């Protein structure tokens, strides 16, 4: 049964953050707010937790397009090949913010993602998830939680999320009502940036 924990974005309680991190380190799954929709995530270093998320999403883990939630751009070199100055300037200008950037992956990717040539990097403008990642010491692998309702598409009410996901995750963080517009996805692996999905992030940064 999922525990619901109230954490405030303006000033995340360190004790509650530590509790979430302890759950992640032990292979637990957590639903948490971002600057867009609520996300489902686990510790990037925990293979069994990664498998659980892939099962829930109904995808093969090695083929899954999960995002890596980072605290800031200092995590980049852990999983991303060296990028040029123009690419770095775009990242610096947009992050933290409601974007997912597709970048070339390097050889340090977790074993389950070794065959992937690219990774999706997120640095949300949300203090809760960034505090979790900072305390954890490495990124969270994340995927948006979708709703079967085609009109709503993304559930925004933490209590409804807890009801629906009660038996699938360990913690649901109540960070207030979420947004129902996902991040803008931009591929930066070619010479020109390519928008793969227009979402909350403005395209004027191009």
The position carrying tokens 């405030």 is 8
SS (H, E, C) 115-154: CCCEEEEECCCCHHHHHHHHHHCCCEEEEECCCCCCCCCC
Q: What are the structural domains, with CATH classification, of the chain? A: 3-197 (3.90.870.10)
- Give the pLDDT of the chain (206 residues) as one tens digit per residue: 899 999 999 999 999 999 999 999 999 999 999 999 999 999 999 999 999 999 999 999 888 889 999 999 987 888 999 999 999 999 999 999 999 999 999 988 888 888 889 999 999 999 999 999 999 999 999 999 876 554 455 678 899 899 999 999 999 999 999 888 999 999 999 989 999 999 999 988 76
Phi, psi of 110 (to 5 degrees): -50, 150
Name the DSSP letter for residue 203.
Answer: G
Contacts of 140 (CB under 8 A, 6+ apart): 24, 30, 41, 42, 43, 44, 68, 69, 129, 132, 133
Residue 115, pLDDT score: 86
Model confidence pTM above 0.95: no
Residue 147, pLDDT score: 61
> What length does the chain have?
206
Nearest C-alpha neighbor of 199 from the set 67, 10, 79? 67
Residue 151, pLDDT score: 47
Residue 154, pLDDT score: 62
Residue 110, pLDDT score: 87
Model pLDDT for residues 155-206, shown as the tens digit of each residue: 788 998 999 999 999 999 999 998 889 999 999 999 899 999 999 999 887 6
């Amino acid at each position: 049964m999922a525990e619901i924990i109230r954490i405030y974005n303006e000033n995340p309680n360190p004790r509650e953050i530590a509790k979430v991190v302890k759950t992640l380190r032990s292979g637990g799954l957590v639903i948490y707010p971002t600057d867009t929709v609520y996300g489902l995530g686990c510790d990037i270093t925990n293979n069994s937790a990664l498998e659980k998320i892939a099962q829930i999403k109904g995808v093969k883990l090695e083929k899954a397009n999960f995002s890596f939630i980072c605290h800031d751009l200092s995590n980049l070199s852990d999983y991303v090949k060296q990028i040029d100055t123009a690419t770095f300037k775009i990242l610096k200008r947009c992050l933290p913010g409601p974007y997912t950037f597709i970048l070339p992956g390097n050889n340090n990717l977790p074993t389950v993602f070794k065959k992937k040539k690219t990774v999706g990097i997120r640095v949300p403008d949300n203090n809760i998830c960034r505090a979790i990642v900072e305390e954890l010491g490495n990124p969270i692998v994340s995927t948006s939680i979708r709703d079967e309702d085609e009109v709503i598409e993304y559930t925004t009410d933490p209590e409804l999320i807890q009801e629906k996901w009660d038996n699938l995750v360990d913690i649901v963080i109540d960070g207030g009502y979420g947004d129902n517009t996902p991040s803008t996805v931009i591929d930066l692996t070619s010479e020109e940036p390519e928008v793969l999905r227009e979402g909350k992030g403005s395209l004027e940064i191009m």
